[in-house]
Chains A and B, each alone.
Chain A
C-alpha cells in the first residue's frame, strides 16, 4: 500500500470523519464504532487518517512502539539487558493495524513464542497486535463477526491502555494505548449492548444517495487509481491542514473548559434519555472537549453538544426492536426539549 486515499478527498460522510478526528485528538474517548452499508469508505477513511497524523518517534526495531524517553521493561530493544546499546531513534508512521477476523487470542495479546519454546527451549515473549498498535490505530472490519471474548479483550485493553499477559509462565505488561475503530454491517449481526456501550462514539454511515456526490466519489476514486501520486499530491495541502488541526487540537485539549451550565444541561439530557451509568456523560464531556479543540475554541458551547450528542449517545439507548426509525430522532427530540428549557424533569 504505497499511498492511501487522501482523507480530505473522501466525499461527504461528515459524521464519520468528525468522529475519527475526535478519536485521534482524544484517545481516551474509547474508540469509534462505524456501522453501516457496504462500500461507504469505512476502511478507506481509517487508513487515510493514519497517514495524515504526525509521525511517531521510537527506536529502530522496537516492536512495542516505545516512547524513546520512556522505555518499557517488556521491550528488549529499548531496555536492553546489562549495558547494551540502544538503537537510534527513528520516526515512523502512526501504526494502523488491521485485526484480521480470525485472529487468535495469542496473536492479539502476544504469547509465548511457541517455535522458540519447542525448538530452542527458550522462554520468549512474542508481542502481539496490541503491542504493534500502541500509539496508533487498531482497526477491526466486521467487528460484529469477531468472537465475543476477543472483543472483550480488545475493549479492555483499549480502556485501560495496558496489555497484561499472564499465561504459559509469562508475566508481561506493556502499554497498549490505541484508538480502537470497529466497523461492521448491522445486517450481519449485532454487538452485545455491553460492548456497544464501551465504544466511545458510534456513527452510522449510509450509502450516499445524492447524485452529484456519488459522481464525485467515482471521479475521485478514478483519478486516484489512474495516478495515485499525482492525486495525493493535489490533495496533500488539504490533508496537511487537517493534520495540523489535529495537532493543534491535541495541544489545547487540556485547556478546553466546559461552563457549568453546559455540564448541567448535559446531565439533564442523559437523564431524559434514561442512559444508565456515568459513562455516557463522561464520554459526552470528553467528546465535546475534543470537538471544541478541533474547531480551535477553548470553551465548549451548547451547539457543540447538540452536534455531538447523537454519536455519543445513540448506541447507549435501550433498543426497541420494533422501532425502525432508529435512535437519532429520539436524541434530537430530547435535545429539543432540553433546549427549550423543559429539561428539569
Chain B
C-alpha cells in the first residue's frame, strides 16, 4: 500500500472502510446471537491474527465463552465427526464403548471450523446435512476461511447454508480497540440464541420481492440464500424495535449476507466491495444519496447516530442497488457464485481415487500398522495373529493387576466385593491392530491427437507412428495403453481405440493416410470424449496433441475459420475444467504463436520438436505419463 503514496483522502477512505468492516462484523456477531442455528452461522474471511482473535473473543462474550465451542480439528476423520466405536477402549474394557462424534458434542453450541477452505468435500456435505436436520437448540457454524485468492474455497455445501459473511481483511488493529467494548456489556442480559423473539417480525411483499430480485440478479439464486437474507432482515428489524422489515434492514441484510454494498459509482472502475481493496477516494461523501446505505446500518447500536440520512429516497435505494447489480458494476462476494466457481482438482473424493496407493478397493498388497484411510477397520485375522504370541504374558499381567487392585480395595473398603469380570478370551491391545492395505492399479492411457492435414504435419506422421510403436513397447511392461486420433479433411477419427496390442496398432498405423485441411476442433473434441471415457474406466488419460497451427474447419465440417476458433476456445475451457493432463507438441518447422496460445488455453505443457526422431517424442510422453501417475 505504501507505494500508492501518502494521500490523505486515501488514508481516510482506508480507515473508514476498515471501521465499517469492523462495525459490520460486530453487527454480524449480534445477529448470530439472535438467530442462532436458524441462520446457519458466519463465514469469516480473515487471516489468523489479532483482529480475528478480537472478533472471536467478542463473539465469545456475547454467545457463550469460547471454551464451550467445539473445534473441528483440521484433517479430522469421518468417524471423528459422526462418532463411532472406540475400539481400543472396547477391547480394554470388554464392553462396547461408543465415542460421540464432534457433531453430537456441538449440537447445542457452536462448531468452529478452522481452515474451512481446506475441509474435505465429504465432511462438508456431512456438516451441511447435520445443519439441516437439527431439531431445536441446534448448532451454528463458524467457518474460518483463510484462503488467499481462490486457490481453495469454502465448500459450497457449507457456504450456501451460512447466512452471514464477515470479512476482516481490511480491519486494522486500531479499529478494533475503538469499538469492541461498545455494545457488549449491555447485551449480556439477553439470553443466548433468543430466537422466539424475532420470528413474529413480518416482511411485506414489496421488500421480499426486491430482496429476491436482488439476490437473483447478483446470481445468488439459491433459495437458501434468499431465506437467510429474509431472516437476517427480520432480526435487524427486531433489534431496532420494529415489527416489520423496512428497506434499511433489507439493505443491511444484503450487505451482511452477500457483501453487496453500494459505493459511489461515478468512477469508471467498478468498486470492489469485498476484496480487501479500499473503495475509491470519493468515499468522503460528495454524493449524498448513494452514500446513504453505507451509513445507515450503524443506526443499530447507538440509536441516536443518524436518523435523517436514509429518509430522502428509501425505496430508490433498493431499486438503485438492483440497477447497479444488473448493470454489472457491482458484485458481491464472488466466491459464492456457484455457477462459475473456479474449477480445481478434486481432492480425496469422488472419482479421483483411482491413483491412490491407500485405496479402498483393489488388490491387497500387505499389512500396515496404521489405518490406510481414516475409517479403515483392522483385519481381524491379522490382528489376532499379531496378538497371539503375547497372550500368555498379558494374561499373567492382567491377573497381577487384578490381584493388586483387589488387595488395595480390600485394605480400604472391606465391603467392596465386586466379583471380578470373566477374563476375556483374547487380550488385544491397540498395538496389535493390523490393517490390510489395498493397491489400486492405476494404468494410464496416452491419447495421441495427431494433425494429419496436408500442411507440414504430413511429413511428421511417420515420426508419430514410430513414437507410438516405441511407447507401446514400453507400455507392455507398465500395463499402460495407447490410443490414436487423427484429424484431416473435415473430421477426426479414432484410428486406434485404447490398446496394448502392438500388432493391432502397427496394422492400423500403417494405413493412416494424410492430407487436406485442419479440423483441429474436431480432433480436440474426439480427444476429449475419449479422455473422459478413459478416465471413467479408472485409467488416467494423458493427451498428446501434435499440431502445427490453428484449425480452419469447424466442427460440422464447414471451412469457417472464425467459428473454428470460437469452438476451439470452448473446447479448451472444457479441457481445463476437466483437469486433463495435456502435452502439446508443436511440429511446425518454426514455432508458432497459435500453438503456444492453444497450449496456454488448454493448460498444456508445450514442447517444440523440430528434429525428426521418434525416440525423443516417445521419451517425452513417457515422462509425462510417469508424472501424471505420481
Interface residues of A (CB under 8 A from B): 1-2, 37-41, 43, 98, 100-102, 104, 106, 112, 114-115, 117-121, 141-142, 144-145, 147-149, 168, 185, 187-189, 192-193, 207-209, 211, 214-215, 217-219, 221-222, 225-226, 321-322
Contacts and interface: CB of A to CB of B under 8 A. Distances in A.
Interface stretch (B16-24, B128-136, B403-411, B452-460): B128-136
A112 B380 contact: yes
Contact of B160 (A39, A43, A149, A208): A39
Contacts of B139: none
Given A37-B338, A218-B212, 11 more contacts: A39-B225, A100-B82, A100-B129, A102-B126, A106-B377, A119-B91, A142-B157, A207-B221, A214-B212, A215-B212, A217-B223
| Most B Cβ at <10 Å: residue of A106, A112, A119, A121 | A119
B90 interface: yes
B38 interface: yes
A232 to B, nearest CB: 14
A43 B132 contact: yes
B326 to A, nearest CB: 15
19 contacts: A37-B221, A41-B223, A43-B129, A102-B78, A115-B87, A117-B380, A118-B426, A119-B424, A120-B425, A121-B425, A121-B426, A145-B349, A147-B360, A185-B156, A218-B223, A222-B227, A321-B529, A322-B567, A322-B571
A114 B433 CA distance: 12
Given A38-B160, A141-B125, A187-B338, A118 B380 contact: yes
B230 interface: yes
Contacts of A38: 156-157, 160, 222, 224, 338
Nearest to B95: A119
Contacts of A120: 424-425
A142 to B, nearest CB: 5
Contact of A1 (B125, B133, B213): B133
Contacts of A142: 121, 125, 157
Given A225-B199, A322-B570, A145 B350 contact: yes
Given A39-B222, A225-B38, A321-B532, A145 B425 contact: no
A210 to B, nearest CB: 10
B230 A222 contact: yes
B568 to A, nearest CB: 12
A37 B525 contact: no
Contacts of B122: 101-102, 145
B536 A193 contact: yes
B85 interface: yes
Contacts of A112: 380
Interface string B196-238: 0001100001001100110010000111111100110000000
B121 A188 contact: yes
Given A102-B122, A115-B90, A188-B350, A211 B224 contact: no
B380 A211 contact: no
Given A118-B90, A148-B351, A214 B346 contact: no
B133 A149 contact: no
Contacts of B338: 37-38, 185, 187
Closest 6 CB pairs of A and B: A39-B224, A102-B78, A39-B222, A207-B221, A101-B122, A226-B199
A115 B525 contact: no
Interface in B360-375: 360-361, 375
Contacts of B90: 115, 118-119
Nearest to B156: A38
A37 to B, nearest CB: 7
A218 B375 contact: no
Contacts of A118: 87, 90-91, 380, 383, 426, 428
A39 B227 CA distance: 10
Contacts of B339: 187
B212 A37 contact: no
B555 interface: yes
Contacts of B85: 114-115
Nearest to A227: B199
A185 to B, nearest CB: 8
Interface residues of B, number: 68
A39 B223 contact: yes
A211 B212 contact: yes
Contacts of B129: 43, 98, 100, 141
Interface in B311-353: 338-339, 341, 346, 349-351, 353
Contacts of A185: 156, 338
Contact of A215 (B156, B205, B536): B205
A214 B209 CA distance: 9
B153 interface: no
B471 interface: no
Contact of A2 (B132, B135, B199): B135
Contacts of A106: 377
Contacts of B224: 38-39
A102 B567 CA distance: 39
Contacts of A119: 90-91, 94-96, 424
A268 to B, nearest CB: 27
B574 interface: yes
| Most A Cβ at <10 Å: residue of B132, B133, B205, B212 | B212
Contacts of B570: 322
B361 A214 contact: no
B113 interface: no
Contacts of A39: 160, 222-225
B572 interface: no
Contacts of B87: 114-115, 118
Contacts of A115: 85, 87, 90, 96
A136 B213 CA distance: 39
Interface string B104-135: 00000000000000000111011001001101
B621 interface: no
B438 to A, nearest CB: 11
B528 interface: yes
Contacts of A1: 133, 135
Nearest to B570: A322
B227 A322 contact: no
A322 B208 CA distance: 38
Contacts of B375: 102, 104
A226 B195 CA distance: 10
Nearest to B360: A147
Contacts of A209: 216, 221
Contacts of B208: 215, 218-219
A43 to B, nearest CB: 7
Contacts of A168: 380
A170 to B, nearest CB: 12
A120 B424 CA distance: 7
A217 B428 CA distance: 56
Contacts of A322: 525, 555, 567, 570-571, 574
A208 B428 CA distance: 57
Nearest to B354: A148
Contacts of A226: 199-200
A116 B153 CA distance: 43
A80 B230 CA distance: 56
A293 B227 CA distance: 36
Given A43-B132, A187-B338, A221 B380 contact: no
A204 to B, nearest CB: 15
A121 B224 CA distance: 50
A222 B209 CA distance: 15
Contacts of A188: 121, 346, 350
B394 to A, nearest CB: 14
Contact of A214 (B160, B226, B349, B525): B226
Given A39-B224, A189-B346, A209-B216, A149 B377 contact: no
Interface in B373-395: 375, 377-378, 380, 383
